[in-house]
């Protein structure tokens, strides 16, 4: 399984996702440009010594990522507040790519249109969104629960 981050803005979240992926055996696909330098100290602090263990694939653009994904034949699951399907009601398969948009603005329409499935993590009324790293952990946990 893979976690993809579309142009992430906050290095601490990316570091936390890399740490999560290293511990769970996921690969992280980082779709550039990121809103920070990948050598940022906050990224290193959040990822701690797990960054050396994390499998990271960098894609120079959305188009480069999408070309790679299509060649690989992987399903793209976009996690968004603009979906009706609950992430816990979905059947995951090995090889799925769990995609998360930018912390500040989410994913653009082209990403929404390209995704095979759009999933949401239900929240209390009035809540805007969950933290990116928390959302990735919840999605990864559910996928692993189903597959293992």
More confident residue, 106 or 38: 106
Predicted confidence band of residue 28 (pLDDT cuts 50, 70, 90): very high
Q: What is the pLDDT of residue 91?
A: 98
* Angle between helices 11-24 and 132-147 in degrees, nearest 10: 20
Q: How many domains does the chain have?
A: 1
**Mean pLDDT of the region 132-147:** 97
**Position 50 pLDDT exceeds 80:** no
d(CA 9, CA 101): 10
Categorize the per-residue pLDDT at 53 as very low, low, confident or very high, splitting at 50, 70 and 90.
confident
**For the segment 108-137, what is each residue's pLDDT rounded down to a tens digit?**
999 999 999 999 999 999 988 899 999 999
Across all residues in the chain, what is the average pLDDT? 93
pLDDT (0 to 100) of residue 43: 67
Q: How far is CA 97 from CA 29, 45, 78, 127, in A?
A: 9, 26, 8, 26
Which three-class secondary structure state does DSSP give residue 100?
strand
55 versus 75: which is more confidently predicted? 75
pLDDT of residue 101: 97
Predicted confidence band at 40 (pLDDT cuts at 50, 70, 90)? Answer: low
CATH number at residue 130: 3.40.1280.10
**Domain range enclosing 70:** 2-147
């Amino acid at each position: 399984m893979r976690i993809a981050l579309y142009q992430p803005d906050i290095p601490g979240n990316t570091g936390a996702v890399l740490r999560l992926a290293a511990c769970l055996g996921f690969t992280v696909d980082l779709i550039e440009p990121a809103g920070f330098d990948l050598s940022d100290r906050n990224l290193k602090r959040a990822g701690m010594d797990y960054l050396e263990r994390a499998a990271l694939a960098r894609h120079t653009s959305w188009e480069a990522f999408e070309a790679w994904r299509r060649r690989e034949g992987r399903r793209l699951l976009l996690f968004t507040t603009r979906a009706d399907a609950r992430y816990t009601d979905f059947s995951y398969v090995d090889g799925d790519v769990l995609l998360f948009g930018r912390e500040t603005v989410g994913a653009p329409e082209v990403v929404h249109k390209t995704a095979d499935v759009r999933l949401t993590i239900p929240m209390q009324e009035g809540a805007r969104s969950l933290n990116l790293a928390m959302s990735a952990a919840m999605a990864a946990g559910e996928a692993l629960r189903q597959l293992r």
